[in-house]
Structure 1
Amino acid sequence: MDLKQLRTFREVAEAGSLSRAADRLRLAQPALSRQIRMLEAEIGTPLFARHGRGMQLTEAGQAFLDRILGPVRQLERAGEEVRALGGAVTGQVALGMMPTLAGVLAGPLARSVAAEHPNLSLRIVEGYTGHLVEWVQRGVTDATLLYGPAQALHLRVSELLLEEMVLVGDAGSGIGPASVPFAALAGRRLVLPSRAHGLRRIVETAAGRARITLEVGFEADSFGVLKDLVEAGLGHSVLPRSAIRAEEAVGRLRSAPLVRPVPRRQVVLALPPDRPASRATMTVLALLQRAVAARAAAGDWRWLGAAGRAPAEG
């Protein structure tokens, strides 16, 4: 089993057929087929089910793919880093983010990377907490943003930002700018993420402190759908202020601060515990630090730390 075989397997799995994988790799299809057969023979079980429309991973094939994605990517990155020593920053960095943060940070961060490090490739991977933790542990991502606190995780963690969450309503809701006691949410129909979502847990915790029961009319784990439902007048929501700035600016949504208690989300930066961050990763994290500091200066967040520095052990 060698790196070439593993790359071939990954490409065929992602493409779903030998012909498409051959086009991507610019290699002859028989050569790819031979690599797959050799790999299956070495492992001792079929990795693909062949059919007229292409190739589909077997259960064993999916399990194998899940286990090799991180290690293969690390080997590829190691070669890139050695070749780049002393020169321009190159390589690919995969950074995990929650959707509410990706909507605010991904654009400015990508523009900075393109302008200042054109040989560096950035991949933003959106997901929710459970997936983000798994991906950074497996090496699918190089670093990730998570809801804090995260001391219990076996990751290197540093605090990044703190943000107050606000009550959000449609243009005709009449809320704001005056503060609203959290207890006033009792009896209001709410639009919230599902219970597996980090934002929902923050809202539920605040409701417990206010000693009220929430009336959830609609649930959606897509941040875009949440905002659409609120804008349509189907209920209020509790969301990070930074994530609705654009809609507030054009009058599509309104917001009001929540008090007694003030719901807050803490965001931390997490890196794998067992491998050092690459030069490319540290470059991206320094740019991330700058983007977070800019939003903090605009009043959206309270900046808690320096993402460009290596985090302490969590």
Structure 2
Amino acid sequence: MSFNLQQLEMFNAIVSAGSLGRAAALLNLTQPALSRAIKRLEESVGGALFERHTKGMHLTVLGQALLPHAMSLQREAQQAREELDAIRGLAKGVIKVGAVGSIASLVLPLAVRGVLDKWPNLRVEIIEGVWDRLVEGLLTHEIDLALSTSGGQTEGVAAIADCCWTDLSYVVAAPDHPLRQQGRIALEQTLGQRWALTPKGTGPYLHVQETFARHGLPMPEIAVESRSVTVLKSLVARCGFIGWMSGPMFDTERQAGVIVALEVAGLDAPRTLTAFRRRQGILPAPAARLLDELRHLTGSLAPTQRAGAASPSATAIAPIFP
């Protein structure tokens, strides 16, 4: 059985619009012409795809089965057009990438700059979020690459083994926090503090949990949970909370003197960061260009770039205490 991409686009339009008339208007077609096209598609698949009701069109069981494949094929066709346009230099290629906050703060902007210097006609779309948001973006084709902590592979998402690097995470606070005034502290001294952290199941939460367990300590009680990097930074910088952040995530605030890393005895908390993609399908050419730049960048950052900023490198970098 072969599919006509134009018919699938019409099918998807009807599903999205909810009625034949609205879909025809969106596609700039007459209603009879759209109806005939869907009839031919139904003949091709061997059954009705829609049930006609007074309030619109509803998918049959056959239509429900076809829908995810129709959407996927339409997206693949769009990606193919974008790849070909990019190769021909027609400024149509789109790099769609998602990243956790620390990568979005430093590594990704540097990689984007490198790609656009070489391919100025490409366009970049970026989302920032924790792991579950990035997985959703990959599986729905909202993004083609996700940059996050390692260990998050799923049935539909795979790590790209040759694009990974490490950085260090820290317990962070405002410069005037009482714990900062004590100088070097024990990790257990943070247990009685008000913590602000991302929710359970996210990368930073799991990293804190693993680190405290390695020191024989329970998970600290989290006073405020948020997926917003802006909110977490504000709570730490302005409201007396302590938090957990990788070096790149608060480098700007560290240089401005509003967030500092607490000097915790025996604390060594590296994490591995990795690029991820969908298991199925071909990585679009624009995304592949960004991936090549990431491989180059994470393997060749100069020591002066890495030191003090906890930037990605082949090994964990030096602490960033003042």
Tell me if TM exceeds 0.5.
yes
Once the two structures are overlaid, the 10-residue window that deviates more, 190-199 or 254-263, is: 254-263
| Greater Rg by CA | 2
Q: C-alpha separation between the residues in 1 aligned to 2:213 and 2:87?
A: 53
Q: Structure 1 residues 203 and 276, CA, compared in 2 at 3 Å: closer, same or farther?
A: same
Unaligned runs of at least 5 residues, structure 2: 43-47, 316-322
- Structure 1 segment 243-282 matched on structure 2, within 5 A: 243-282=249-288
Q: Structure 1 residues 141 and 56, CA, compared in 2 at 3 Å: closer, same or farther?
A: farther
Cα shift readout 1:166-221 (whole Å, capped 9, x = no counterpart): 11112421628955432222211111111021110110111112222312111111
Q: Structure 1 residues 147 and 160, CA, compared in 2 at 3 Å: closer, same or farther?
A: same
CA contact 2:93–2:286 (8 Å) conserved in 1: yes
CA contact 1:128–1:197 (8 Å) conserved in 2: yes
Secondary structure at the residue paired with 2:172? strand
Determine the structure 1 residue equivalent to 2:319.
none
Cα shift readout 1:229-281 (whole Å, capped 9, x = no counterpart): 11222410011111111112222222224443422321111233343434322
**Total equivalences in the alignment:** 300
Determine the structure 1 residue equivalent to 2:229.
223
Determine the structure 2 residue equivalent to 1:157.
160
Deviation at 1:62, TM superposition (A): 9.7
290, 298, 309: which is aligned to 2:306? 298
Q: Structure 1 residues 199 and 156, CA, compared in 2 at 3 Å: closer, same or farther?
A: closer
Q: C-alpha separation between the residues in 1 aligned to 2:182 and 2:14?
A: 55
AA paired with 2:158? L
Cα shift readout 1:44-75 (whole Å, capped 9, x = no counterpart): 34699969xxx999xx9999776654432222
Cα shift readout 1:78-127 (whole Å, capped 9, x = no counterpart): 23434655767852222221233223344333433433312222222333
Determine the structure 1 residue equivalent to 2:101.
99
Determine the structure 1 residue equivalent to 2:189.
184
Q: Structure 1 residues 238 and 18, CA, compared in 2 at 3 Å: closer, same or farther?
A: farther
CA contact 1:150–1:268 (8 Å) conserved in 2: no
Q: C-alpha separation between the residues in 2 aligned to 1:237 and 1:136?
A: 29
CA contact 2:99–2:148 (8 Å) conserved in 1: yes
Q: C-alpha separation between the residues in 2 aligned to 1:230 and 1:156?
A: 32
Secondary structure at the residue paired with 2:281? coil
After TM superposition, the score normalised by the length of structure 1 is 0.73
Identity of aligned pairs, percent? 21
Q: C-alpha separation between the residues in 2 aligned to 1:77 and 1:133?
A: 19
Q: C-alpha separation between the residues in 1 aligned to 2:233 and 2:266?
A: 24
CA contact 1:109–1:287 (8 Å) conserved in 2: yes
Secondary structure at the residue paired with 2:168? strand
Determine the structure 2 residue equivalent to 1:311.
none
AA paired with 1:109? A
Q: C-alpha separation between the residues in 2 aligned to 1:97 and 1:47?
A: 43
CA RMSD of aligned residues (A): 4.4
Secondary structure at the residue paired with 1:285? helix
